[in-house]
Amino acid sequence: MHGRRGVMIESMARSLRGAVLLLLLAALGGCGLAAAPCRITSAALKIIPYVGHSAAQTTDACAAAIDP
């Protein structure tokens, strides 16, 4: 019985991941999808203490130019 429950939970998790991915793609439609790499890089740079926000200015400008 434990095995069946695990399969059900795995199936539900897979469905939830698919729904979240679909919502993200819908939100990033059009120019937002093209600007996503700039925004992701910017978010990753902003994690770096002291210099992250200033280093991310160029990628923020890239994202703003693509998707105002």
What are the structural domain ranges in the chain? Answer: 2-66
pLDDT at 1: 47
Interval 22-62: pLDDT, tens:
777 776 666 777 788 888 889 999 998 888 889 899 989 98
Q: What pTM, to 2 d.p., does this model score?
A: 0.54
Interval 55-67: pLDDT, tens:
899 989 988 888 7
The CA angle 61-65-68, to the nearest 5 degrees, is 105
